[in-house]
Chains A and B, each alone.
Chain A
């Protein structure tokens, strides 16, 4: 069967994302990539932990962090993980329309998260907590900003996938692409859980 051919319910494989060698390679390669990303964020977390009390000329963490808004952002991002799970469930059953709908909702939630984050950063800058106000500021914006950059990249990615494949069904060629996006999105969510704990909760309490 040609990899570009639209899959039907009759010939739909159990795991369309891993049904070809290319798909298997992408699947494994992406998991390994996420392993590398883990080291990337671990290094950022390590740096942040080393500098989180070095406020320099800026305000202290406990003065500026506002948990209600961060909590809202957390809920939005976690929900987007759930919607991407629904999308993958639909993918596994060849329900293209539902899959695309769930991915679209994931995208919207991702964008709202980004909006909240930008709003939050603008607020902080007004309060004197900037990238250059001290080591804490540099470490904070680098860690949280790297995560935000990952969310932004994910939004661009799923937009490109949805637009490119509009009107096209699932094939052995595009199924791995959708699936990898979902993997990526979960990873970005998991990182946020750590940011919420290490940066915000510990910043407020620790």
Chain B
């Protein structure tokens, strides 16, 4: 029935209305990948400007815009959505579910992110991008002229709403929709990290939502939250931003930890060493992540007591993180290691992330931080943990789960070129920046005089950026080659251990014909060791209930997109902007109303059709 149904409608319409977590995962991955390229291009422009002393390639306000958009794009529009892409593609499969808890909301979350990202990037063509840094500190952001910062506030507000929905969705999915036998302590580690990350999103993003509202009210409606002349206080912005911002870096890195844990175990042919310690460390990192935000504000003048408390709390995070590092190493110890591209990225991740962690502890020492603060040392640190940590993890995940997501295997030879150019390029780019920072080079400045002697290290750094670019281009070539003439692979190309490899390729749109019965950690591996060809089913073949597609999420997001434009131009355009606000919010509310009004019971796939389809796959 579903096939006959789908055949009548165009492919485009299917992708615009889909509520299938696998397709939404691909949508997240593709749009996040696109924004990654945009952010990467901005990074290259920055490195060209800093290549030599006193360059004039990209100066002043334009440099500020590129710098701001690089950070903002990479964090909110590249890293977050790619993580959500993996969570969508993998988590329901790993827990033996047929979809997420709220498929409609899932689609809405994607489209809000997408329109928010588009809105933010339209600023390039509409009078200039935001220029107050990705942290948008007040009063720099409140007094920035033009509409750049308005695009930042509204674009991220809309995208952030989507992220919050995604977080709630995955929490409920993981709590309520695990297959029989899939207890919490049998969940694969990627699902665990997705769970903790979703919890962090739930409690961190609302703070940012309010921060953006306050900033918007100050800029658009002449409120006085951050205006000292009227009794406002700019430090409030810093607190709100980092109460969100510090959990955010754990939101980013935890899923990468999860990916590494899956990949290292699979390619060592061993179960993960210290599984329960890994789970505990993940939860502990998530918890401590909320206690350390003021370490971004050591130089604000909060006083020695506050600084000490936040310094100690920050250093404490090194303990659970160290637990993880050792567990990965011990997983490999004595394992039958295969150095596939996915595993190369994972193994490369471990020492790189340790280096980022070490500088993290250095920065946590409040007195020393007065020296490092706002220098390239900080830039080196956070690129080591975000690029060397998260991005290597994401590449690892891409090579690992590509066969699951697309039914094709990425080319391993190109993959290894991809790894080595990117990995060497990464260290070449960011390792010298530690020393640039210690030598006194401040972050965010667009140039430096020749006599400061910063030229050669900056030049090396730019060469590294070229290598990283080459690595990324090789990856794109790999994707093109793979889709042009890649081989279709079986459902389990890596000899996997977890449930997502128990499904035939291509993944049926209902995932599991019969919900599997989980008998322990590494559910598929247990069945393999018991000599079973596939998972033991927990139910007989029966009708499957599936959610209906809907175009409402897209239209609703479009409504908020239009309203966003209205708010951005309200302070300068007046009445036309007000009309955009009313129309846009009207569309959004109308869609919510329609969603409530129209009964949507989903549809059933019938047992007979399912069995026919299943036989078709085998034959």
Q: A residues touching B (Cβ–Cβ < 8 Å)?
A: 2-4, 21, 24-25, 28-29, 32-33, 35-37, 39-40, 43-44, 46-47, 50-51, 54-57, 131-132, 134-139, 142, 157, 160-161, 164, 173, 177
| Interface-lining segment among B214-222, B267-275, B294-302 | B214-222
CB closest residue in chain B, given A138: B223
* Nearest 10 interchain pairs by C-beta: A54-B231, A138-B223, A135-B231, A40-B206, A43-B210, A39-B206, A25-B101, A135-B232, A56-B230, A29-B172
Q: What distance in Å separates the Cβ of A186 from its nearest Cβ neighbour in chain B?
A: 19
CB contacts (< 8 Å) of A56 on chain B: these are 224, 230-231
Q: How far is the CA of A156 from the CA of B203 in the complex (A)?
A: 27
Q: How far is the CA of A66 from the CA of B476 in the complex (A)?
A: 65
CB closest residue in chain A, given B593: A160
B288 at interface, CB cutoff 8 A:
no
CB contacts (< 8 Å) of B596 on chain A: these are 157, 160-161, 164, 177
Using known A-B contacts A36-B202, A51-B232, determine if residue A29 contacts B102 with beta carbons closer than 8 Å: yes
CB contacts (< 8 Å) of A134 on chain B: these are 224, 230-231
CB contacts (< 8 Å) of A25 on chain B: these are 101-102, 172, 176-177
What 1/0 flags go to B205-242 for Cβ under 8 Å of A?
Answer: 11101110110011001111101001111001001100
Using known A-B contacts A4-B601, A51-B236, A160-B593, determine if residue A139 contacts B225 with beta carbons closer than 8 Å: yes
B125 at interface, CB cutoff 8 A:
no
Using known A-B contacts A4-B599, A131-B223, A160-B593, determine if residue A24 contacts B176 with beta carbons closer than 8 Å: yes
Assess the A135–B227 pair: CB atoms within 8 A. Answer: yes
Partner of A137 from the list B164, B177, B205, B224 (CB cut-off 8 Å) is B224
Q: What distance in Å separates the Cβ of A93 from its nearest Cβ neighbour in chain B?
A: 24
Q: What distance in Å separates the Cβ of A146 from its nearest Cβ neighbour in chain B?
A: 8
Assess the B210–A138 pair: CB atoms within 8 A. Answer: no
Assess the A138–B206 pair: CB atoms within 8 A. Answer: no
Q: How far is the CA of A190 from the CA of B256 in the complex (A)?
A: 38
CB closest residue in chain A, given B173: A25
Task: Choose among A4, A35, A55, A57 the residue with the greatest number of B CB atoms under 10 Å from its CB.
Answer: A35
Q: How far is the CA of A36 from the CA of B161 in the complex (A)?
A: 11
Q: What distance in Å separates the Cβ of B587 from its nearest Cβ neighbour in chain A?
A: 15
Assess the B230–A57 pair: CB atoms within 8 A. Answer: yes
Assess the A132–B224 pair: CB atoms within 8 A. Answer: yes
Task: Choose among A35, A39, A44, A132 the residue with the greatest number of B CB atoms under 10 Å from its CB.
Answer: A39
Chain B interfacial residues counted at CB < 8 A: 42
B169 at interface, CB cutoff 8 A:
yes
Q: How far is the CA of A153 from the CA of B55 in the complex (A)?
A: 54
Q: How far is the CA of A65 from the CA of B231 in the complex (A)?
A: 20
CB contacts (< 8 Å) of A135 on chain B: these are 224-225, 227, 230-233
CB contacts (< 8 Å) of A44 on chain B: these are 210
CB contacts (< 8 Å) of A2 on chain B: these are 601
Can you spell out 20 A-B residue pairs with CB atoms less than 8 angstroms apart? A25-B177, A28-B175, A40-B206, A40-B209, A43-B206, A43-B210, A43-B240, A47-B225, A50-B233, A51-B236, A54-B233, A132-B222, A132-B224, A136-B231, A138-B214, A138-B224, A160-B593, A160-B597, A164-B597, A173-B599
B residues 326-346 in Cβ contact with A at 8 Å: none
Q: Give 4 new A-B contacts, CB below 8 A, not counting A50-B236, A51-B231, A173-B601.
A: A25-B177, A28-B172, A32-B168, A39-B206
Assess the A142–B232 pair: CB atoms within 8 A. Answer: no
B243 at interface, CB cutoff 8 A:
yes
Assess the A39–B207 pair: CB atoms within 8 A. Answer: yes
Assess the B101–A36 pair: CB atoms within 8 A. Answer: no
Q: How far is the CA of A4 from the CA of B599 in the complex (A)?
A: 8
B518 at interface, CB cutoff 8 A:
no
CB closest residue in chain A, given B105: A29
Assess the B168–A33 pair: CB atoms within 8 A. Answer: yes
B171 at interface, CB cutoff 8 A:
yes
Q: What distance in Å separates the Cβ of A163 from its nearest Cβ neighbour in chain B?
A: 9
Assess the A138–B243 pair: CB atoms within 8 A. Answer: no
CB closest residue in chain B, given A4: B601
Task: Choose among B101, B102, B230, B593 the residue with the greatest number of A CB atoms under 10 Å from its CB.
Answer: B230
Assess the B202–A142 pair: CB atoms within 8 A. Answer: no
Q: What distance in Å separates the Cβ of B247 from its nearest Cβ neighbour in chain A?
A: 11
Q: How far is the CA of A33 from the CA of B172 in the complex (A)?
A: 11
Q: What distance in Å separates the Cβ of A144 from its nearest Cβ neighbour in chain B?
A: 14
CB contacts (< 8 Å) of A46 on chain B: these are 236, 239-240
Partner of A54 from the list B171, B210, B214, B232 (CB cut-off 8 Å) is B232
Assess the B206–A55 pair: CB atoms within 8 A. Answer: no
CB contacts (< 8 Å) of A164 on chain B: these are 596-597
CB contacts (< 8 Å) of B175 on chain A: these are 28
Q: How far is the CA of A190 from the CA of B323 in the complex (A)?
A: 41
Q: How far is the CA of A132 from the CA of B206 in the complex (A)?
A: 24
Q: How far is the CA of A160 from the CA of B205 in the complex (A)?
A: 29
Q: What distance in Å separates the Cβ of A137 from its nearest Cβ neighbour in chain B?
A: 7
Partner of B164 from the list A36, A132, A177 (CB cut-off 8 Å) is A36
Assess the B169–A40 pair: CB atoms within 8 A. Answer: no
Q: What distance in Å separates the Cβ of B537 from its nearest Cβ neighbour in chain A?
A: 18
Assess the B233–A32 pair: CB atoms within 8 A. Answer: no
Assess the B221–A55 pair: CB atoms within 8 A. Answer: no
Q: How far is the CA of A191 from the CA of B213 in the complex (A)?
A: 19
CB contacts (< 8 Å) of A29 on chain B: these are 101-102, 168-169, 171-172
CB contacts (< 8 Å) of A32 on chain B: these are 168, 171-172, 202
Assess the A43–B243 pair: CB atoms within 8 A. Answer: yes
CB contacts (< 8 Å) of B204 on chain A: these are 39
CB contacts (< 8 Å) of A43 on chain B: these are 206-207, 210-211, 240, 243
Q: How far is the CA of A27 from the CA of B206 in the complex (A)?
A: 20
Assess the A131–B221 pair: CB atoms within 8 A. Answer: yes
Q: What distance in Å separates the Cβ of A142 from its nearest Cβ neighbour in chain B?
A: 7
CB closest residue in chain A, given B209: A40
Q: How far is the CA of A198 from the CA of B230 in the complex (A)?
A: 22
Q: How far is the CA of A201 from the CA of B365 in the complex (A)?
A: 42
CB contacts (< 8 Å) of A161 on chain B: these are 596
CB contacts (< 8 Å) of B168 on chain A: these are 29, 32-33, 36
B residues 137-178 in Cβ contact with A at 8 Å: 164, 168-169, 171-172, 175-177
Q: How far is the CA of A39 from the CA of B205 in the complex (A)?
A: 9
Using known A-B contacts A36-B168, A47-B240, determine if residue A138 contacts B176 with beta carbons closer than 8 Å: no
Assess the B233–A51 pair: CB atoms within 8 A. Answer: yes
CB contacts (< 8 Å) of B217 on chain A: these are 131, 138, 142
Partner of B601 from the list A3, A21, A160, A177 (CB cut-off 8 Å) is A3
Q: How far is the CA of A47 from the CA of B227 in the complex (A)?
A: 13
B residues 72-120 in Cβ contact with A at 8 Å: 101-102
Q: What distance in Å separates the Cβ of A121 from its nearest Cβ neighbour in chain B?
A: 15
CB contacts (< 8 Å) of B236 on chain A: these are 46-47, 50-51
Q: What distance in Å separates the Cβ of A75 from its nearest Cβ neighbour in chain B?
A: 29
Q: How far is the CA of A33 from the CA of B203 in the complex (A)?
A: 10
CB contacts (< 8 Å) of A47 on chain B: these are 210, 214, 225, 236, 240
Q: How far is the CA of A131 from the CA of B164 in the complex (A)?
A: 28
CB closest residue in chain B, given A39: B206
CB contacts (< 8 Å) of A137 on chain B: these are 224
